[in-house]
Structure 1
Amino acid sequence: FAEKNKGHRSSPGCFGYPLSIFFIVINEFCERFSYYGMRAVLVLYFKYFLSWDDNLATAIYHTFVALCYLTPILGALVADSWLGKFKTIVYLSIVYTIGQTVLSVGSINDMLDQNKDGVPDDPKIPIALSMVGLVLIALGTGGIKPCVAAFGGDQFEDHQEKQRTRFFSIFYLSINAGSLISTIVTPILRELQCGIHTTQQCYPLAFGIPAVLMAVALLVFIAGSTMYKKVEPQGNIMIRVVKCIVFAVRNRFKHRSKQYPKREHWMDWANEKYDKQLIAQIKMVLKVLFLYIPLPMFWALFDQQGSRWTLQATTMNGDFTVNPILIIIMVPVVDAVLYPLIKKCHINFTPLRKMTVGMLLAALAFVAAALVQIQIDKTLPVFPMDGESQIKVINLGNENAAIKFTDTLPPVNVASSASVCVVNNCRLYLTICICIMNSIVFKRVFCLLRFISNMNSTVNITMSNTVFTEVTYLSVTNYTAFKRGSMMIKVDSDTFHCNTTSMTFGYGSAYTIILEGCNNDSLSLGYVEDIEPNTINMAWQIPQYFIITCAEVVFSVTGLSFSYSQAPANMKSVLQAGWLLTVAVGNIIVLIIAGASKLSEQWAEYVLFASLLVGVTIIFAIMAYFYTYVDPAEVEAQFNEDENKREEKVDSQIKVLSLMQHRD
């Protein structure tokens, strides 16, 4: 008994739970704040700081997420074979913190902009730093993923199965509490303006705060060190499992002739070399891993909340965070109300049935997203296709103007103080002195504004701490991104100073603001709407977020508990890594399908993913129907009992032989 429990410490209790788990829960809260806070603005960082297009930003985002869920295999191998869960969590958390710091440093524009012109001198530097930081983050967060939940489960005694089950719900609540706060805070931090020489959206702070929280998570985890029950690594179990499987396969094909009798299970062909308990444990793991095969399709849909759904939101009007809030509400409601109610109705709602329902709900969420996307597409501006061009013509004169392009196109009349947008599939020729021409290049984030001066003096324009210097008569500034809403506009020259409050600008809009004159310190403005504001409110995303949140509660929380309950004692981290591996494969599926489908309409891609998940769910339901639940503790106890009987039999035989020798 002493040898078996070597390295274990008795943890003080609190409300029937080991006190040590509270350190683990707090650590998980801080770590998830760090991860989801960084991830909340990551695709926007790719698009607006690194200037990548939607497809590249989406591809890199899902590649990063896939890497985060591939590295758990490495973490499980290290934890179960060499370092143990505690040391693995500590060491990889240090790597994690370094990665968050590198990513934050890579987003500091001032360090990379020696000419102070707002543009990095070498754009490869922020990209390189960002990629190094993301790789370290993926190694850190992925490496500790299979260890933290399993380490928390290790803190309970065998008679605390009820507390252990509730721990996983509390554990998942801490994940979503950290996610909730971080996904509210980090976008606010990103919107701040920061910088020494040039202002920028404050990605250094949005990434820096998660780095600090990751350091806090590490310190909190270490603080509970003396209370933890630390299970010593059980040897290189993963390699033993692989070797046992390979031997069974080889032995089976080696003895394919009919003279060798069939065996109940193909793993039984390893009996000649490996003990039966290990073979039985591998059978349990393989049964669960076989069930995991269809699961990546769920994650392929679920993780698009951070990519496609985020980009969908940038074409809508509004700003809110839904999923983590719903998780905080839904987990206790489902756990304390819905499941007991279903049980009272005498419905056998098994874990695998819960997961099946979760998969169907995720498909339904994507149908809702497709319906929203169809409505958004009706409001989006029409952009020129390949071989076409687009020009905005603004008449700053006092009379109407007729513009002639070529002999093949009819003349265009532009009224005084009005504008016209012309799209043509050939080159445009314009020669007119009272009009200002400028092609529109914009990003549909917040709003984009530019100024045209119709004032005879050279002026400086200030709007929301952004200064446009020496704007001359009939000159036009570049488009600049501003927050939505109204702002104070100030115009200064050598002879006058005037200001006024602008109109209210909406999400995704683009305006040309005409400086028409200054009268008694009051600035007169004209407005030309280049791109109308987004009109579909983000509230229309609530149904899809609500549905996919319900899907997450019944699928992911159940899956975590199911993975732990069906795993042998010495293979829990391995099975947790297998569960997390399904998330990685799901993100790889996104890359494959999005790249291969070539669908021009985003709503059609949503429907495609939903249809694929429905088909996969049917397969999973059939597999789940034939699954037999096991209790690993009972199986291991049976083997221990049989082993004790064998030892007693051997002892009795030895005693008999001793007596016989004594008589002789």
Structure 2
Amino acid sequence: MPIATTPIKSPGLESPSAAYASVWDARPRKYKSVLFQVCMFILMMELSERLSYYGINQGLKNFMQTIGWSLVSASALKSTWTSICYITPLFGAYLADEKWGRFRTILTFGIWYCVGDFMVAIAAYPTIMTNEAAVNPIFVIGLFVGIGIGTGAIKSNVITFGADQFNPESASEVHQKETYFSYFYFCINFGAAFSYGYLSVLCVDGSAQIPAEYGYFATYMICAAVMLVAICFFLIGSPRYVHMAPKDKSITTLLKLLSTSARESRKGAIVVTGALLLLFSLLVNIIAAFSSDSGRVGEVFSYIAAVMVLLGVICWVYGAYDQSFLDAMKESHGGKFDDERVDGYKKLVSTLPFAAFTIIWQCAYDQTDANFQSITQQCDLRLDRSDPDSKQIPGAMLGVFDPIFIVICIPILDSIVYPFYEKKFGAPPTQFSRASAGLIVAVIGIFWSGIFEVIRRNAGPLADANGDPILDGGSSQPMNDISWAGAIPNYVFIALAECLINVTAYDVFYSVVPLGLKSTSQGVNLFMISVGSVMTSVFTIMFSPYLPTNNLNDGHLEYMFFTVGAVSVVNFVAFYFTMKKMNFGMSHRSGLDEDAPLTGKDSVASRHSIAAAK
């Protein structure tokens, strides 16, 4: 007589509060304010990690060019690093949910991250910077292996670990939890503002006590020291934390379900093939980025990566358009998985076409880090345009406009634009309409960036009284006769599109799937950001023949922007008709579903969404 096997049960059926009620009750001490007495240690970790990340990020491109990388290589490698930072959250989520728990994962990779920070700082020491044989190995290992893996593993866990501290059965703590997300969002933007503000000046100009040649070293050492202090604070708070035991197996089960489906159905094989193509495009792009200065080698690999992404998108749109192929996995159909679990994963798979269409948007968004800085640095950055030797604004500082405009736009959208839309049309804007509006804004923004680059280049270089070009202090490239303020709209368009698309995307990936798959679903979204950065690197390398030198005045960077814009138009048309046919995201209900642990004003949900992305 055969032994009856128990079907694999559904994720998220158990109430989190019921499953973990004893965890909060068992806390050694009851705290009047969990937010300030417990979560401040966690918020300190997030603030320091974001300050460290943005502090490294804002000066990264100029630093790479300083140690010998070309403009194209620096841009491609920076985007490649970003793609690693956004693929590793899946690894961090797996370890936290299935192996180590959140505390151990955050602590382990916080230390890992800190080691990477110190390695990058060592590489920036003046005597090492001039030693090509020493600087590149130290820098590459510290940046890509240390910070790239560390920040991703932390990213997927810090916000959730903080939320774990609040008892959902306590009305007071539920209210504090909403405030926690606002504080978390503040920490992110404070870290970004400090980095793009003060640190962007320090790394280029130094300070009264720090010579300019030690600017990068001082900047990166501050990032490392802040991270080290944060780890100490995080450890000090450990006796106060609530620890959720790792018990979720959603990622492992998803892999089992899809691998079984791939063996038994054509659509399943197509979806899995799409995922593998997108994943391996990252590996191919790493080769392309590191060989971009080696003639045609980098270009060939960049084309291969682009084709892999295109095929991956097609596979996900075609294969996941109809999820009925997963029904064969149900126990009621002779499969090994209980029916409710399969229905949950069908909802996750239904988000894949939407996810695939966000890749080109993420590519446009990554331009704020990859190429907008290069454009800005060849505008007139002087504070006094009548003085050739006037103090300059660092080009990287304009990156602060992204978080500033996000802070401005989210309340305006939530409090004015969306209510006006609802009053005008009788229903709030759907996820589909918000994402569509964002994609249109992104198309306009990316085309405008190309137009502005033409205007900037045609303005002609600045010259001093002797006829010598006036150089930017960060990149040592000639500045043109057009104010840096003209580059601000580049950031404004992308920031507005970010509020419309990224917030909506996090809403989609949170509200569509059942409770037990919400973290996995958000991991898919972060994966799309990673692939978008891959495409930024790919486009930069593809158009390297039109960027023959580090001086943009000698090339045609606008060709890349116009191409990305054209691809974005095709992407939007395909998105529009596919989502319409799938009837995806058409509901007028609020994005927060009945399983959501966070309730309250839409602006709180919006800040939570952006916080997870940042």
Aligned to 1:356: 436
1:104-148: per-residue Cα shift (whole Å, max 9, x none)?
0111023x3xxxxxx73x312111111011121000001122223
Give the 5 Å matches for 1:482-493.
Answer: none
Distance 1:17 1:197 in 2: 38
Could you tell me which amino acid in structure 2 is paired with residue 208 of structure 1?
Answer: M
Q: Judging changes above 3 Å, is the alpha-carbon distance between structure 1 residues 197 and 360 closer, same or farther for their aligned structure 2 residues?
A: closer
Of Structure 1 and Structure 2, which has the larger fraction of its residues in strand? 1
Aligned to 2:57: 39
Which of 256, 259, 265 matches 2:324?
265
Distance 1:622 1:153 in 2: 38
Which of 540, 550, 560 matches 1:605?
560
Q: TM-score, normalised by structure 2?
A: 0.70
Q: Judging changes above 3 Å, is the alpha-carbon distance between structure 1 residues 292 and 92 closer, same or farther for their aligned structure 2 residues?
A: same
Give the 5 Å matches for 1:208-219.
Answer: 208-219=221-232
- Asked if the contact 1:81/1:234 (under 8 Å) is kept, the reply is yes
Aligned to 2:46: 28
Could you tell me which amino acid in structure 2 is paired with residue 303 of structure 1?
Answer: D
Q: Judging changes above 3 Å, is the alpha-carbon distance between structure 1 residues 176 and 363 closer, same or farther for their aligned structure 2 residues?
A: farther
> In the TM superposition, what is the alpha-carbon distance from 1:223 to its structure 2 partner?
4.6
1:71-102: per-residue Cα shift (whole Å, max 9, x none)?
12211211121012222112111111111111
Q: Aligned pair 1:336/2:415, yes or no?
A: yes
Distance 2:42 2:148 in 1: 20
Q: Aligned pair 1:188/2:143, yes or no?
A: no
SS at match of 1:230: coil
Q: Aligned pair 1:577/2:577, yes or no?
A: no
Could you tell me which amino acid in structure 1 is paired with residue 450 of structure 2?
Answer: A
Could you tell me which amino acid in structure 2 is paired with residue 141 of structure 1?
Answer: T
Which of 1, 5, 9 matches 2:24?
9
Distance 1:7 1:32 in 2: 33
Distance 1:225 1:35 in 2: 24
Aligned to 1:627: 584
- Asked if the contact 1:560/1:576 (under 8 Å) is kept, the reply is yes
- Asked if the contact 2:515/2:595 (under 8 Å) is kept, the reply is no
SS at match of 1:232: coil
- Asked if the contact 1:251/1:270 (under 8 Å) is kept, the reply is no
Distance 1:199 1:13 in 2: 47
Distance 1:264 1:379 in 2: 54
Distance 2:74 2:22 in 1: 46
- Asked if the contact 2:83/2:530 (under 8 Å) is kept, the reply is yes
Q: Aligned pair 1:148/2:158, yes or no?
A: yes
Q: Judging changes above 3 Å, is the alpha-carbon distance between structure 1 residues 331 and 155 closer, same or farther for their aligned structure 2 residues?
A: farther
> In the TM superposition, what is the alpha-carbon distance from 1:155 to its structure 2 partner?
4.9
Distance 2:267 2:224 in 1: 54
Aligned to 2:342: 279
Q: Aligned pair 1:326/2:405, yes or no?
A: yes
- Asked if the contact 1:7/1:230 (under 8 Å) is kept, the reply is no
Q: Aligned pair 1:308/2:371, yes or no?
A: yes
Aligned to 1:371: 451
Distance 2:161 2:432 in 1: 24
1:33-61: per-residue Cα shift (whole Å, max 9, x none)?
110111000001011x2122211111111
- Asked if the contact 1:569/1:632 (under 8 Å) is kept, the reply is no
> In the TM superposition, what is the alpha-carbon distance from 1:293 to its structure 2 partner?
0.9
- Asked if the contact 2:98/2:247 (under 8 Å) is kept, the reply is yes
Which of 81, 94, 103 matches 1:86?
103
Q: Judging changes above 3 Å, is the alpha-carbon distance between structure 1 residues 354 and 58 closer, same or farther for their aligned structure 2 residues?
A: same
Could you tell me which amino acid in structure 1 is paired with residue 120 of structure 2?
Answer: L
Distance 2:578 2:67 in 1: 45
1:299-351: per-residue Cα shift (whole Å, max 9, x none)?
11111111211111111112253222222333333333333333333342123
- Of 31-40 and 587-596, the range deviating more from structure 2: 587-596
Aligned to 2:500: 554
Distance 2:49 2:267 in 1: 49
Could you tell me which amino acid in structure 1 is paired with residue 123 of structure 2?
Answer: G
Distance 2:490 2:592 in 1: 37
Extract unaligned runs of 5+ from structure 2: 1-14, 269-321, 382-392, 547-554, 597-614
Distance 1:14 1:288 in 2: 41
> In the TM superposition, what is the alpha-carbon distance from 1:447 to its structure 2 partner?
9.5
Could you tell me which amino acid in structure 1 is paired with residue 329 of structure 2?
Answer: A
Of Structure 1 and Structure 2, which has the larger fraction of its residues in helix? 2
Aligned to 2:132: 123
Could you tell me which amino acid in structure 2 is paired with residue 376 of structure 1?
Answer: R
> In the TM superposition, what is the alpha-carbon distance from 1:279 to its structure 2 partner?
1.2
Q: Judging changes above 3 Å, is the alpha-carbon distance between structure 1 residues 380 and 51 closer, same or farther for their aligned structure 2 residues?
A: farther
CA RMSD of aligned residues (A): 3.7
Could you tell me which amino acid in structure 2 is paired with residue 247 of structure 1?
Answer: T
Q: Judging changes above 3 Å, is the alpha-carbon distance between structure 1 residues 631 and 535 closer, same or farther for their aligned structure 2 residues?
A: closer
Distance 1:41 1:251 in 2: 50
Distance 2:466 2:34 in 1: 74
Q: Aligned pair 1:446/2:403, yes or no?
A: no
1:387-423: per-residue Cα shift (whole Å, max 9, x none)?
xxxxxxxxxxxxxxxxxxxxxxxxxxxxxx999xxxx
Identity, % of aligned positions:
23
- Asked if the contact 1:147/1:573 (under 8 Å) is kept, the reply is no
Distance 2:37 2:18 in 1: 24
SS at match of 1:200: helix
- Asked if the contact 1:150/1:564 (under 8 Å) is kept, the reply is no
Distance 1:557 1:154 in 2: 22
- Asked if the contact 2:41/2:234 (under 8 Å) is kept, the reply is yes
> In the TM superposition, what is the alpha-carbon distance from 1:378 to its structure 2 partner?
1.1
- Of 170-179 and 55-64, the range deviating more from structure 2: 170-179
Which of 480, 488, 496 matches 1:534?
480
Distance 2:411 2:44 in 1: 18
- Asked if the contact 1:169/1:557 (under 8 Å) is kept, the reply is no
1:435-458: per-residue Cα shift (whole Å, max 9, x none)?
xxxxx9x9942399xxxxxxxxxx
Could you tell me which amino acid in structure 1 is paired with residue 423 of structure 2?
Answer: K
Distance 1:304 1:224 in 2: 38
- Asked if the contact 2:113/2:150 (under 8 Å) is kept, the reply is yes
Aligned to 1:71: 88
Which of 212, 219, 231 matches 1:206?
219
Could you tell me which amino acid in structure 2 is paired with residue 35 of structure 1?
Answer: Y
- Of 54-63 and 157-166, the range deviating more from structure 2: 157-166
1:480-510: per-residue Cα shift (whole Å, max 9, x none)?
x7xxxxxxxxxxxxxxxxxxxxxxxxxx55x
> In the TM superposition, what is the alpha-carbon distance from 1:201 to its structure 2 partner?
4.7
SS at match of 1:41: helix
Aligned to 1:543: 489
Bigger Rg, which one: 1
SS at match of 2:23: coil
> In the TM superposition, what is the alpha-carbon distance from 1:547 to its structure 2 partner?
1.6
Which of 123, 130, 149 matches 1:106?
123
Could you tell me which amino acid in structure 1 is paired with residue 48 of structure 2?
Answer: C
- Asked if the contact 1:315/1:534 (under 8 Å) is kept, the reply is yes
Aligned to 1:565: 511
Distance 2:447 2:515 in 1: 41
Could you tell me which amino acid in structure 1 is paired with residue 455 of structure 2?
Answer: Q
- Asked if the contact 2:105/2:154 (under 8 Å) is kept, the reply is yes
- Asked if the contact 1:568/1:632 (under 8 Å) is kept, the reply is no
Could you tell me which amino acid in structure 1 is paired with residue 195 of structure 2?
Answer: S
Q: TM-score, normalised by structure 1?
A: 0.65
Distance 1:347 1:282 in 2: 30
Which of 562, 569, 572 matches 1:614?
569
Distance 2:428 2:376 in 1: 39
- Of 135-144 and 601-610, the range deviating more from structure 2: 601-610
SS at match of 2:243: coil
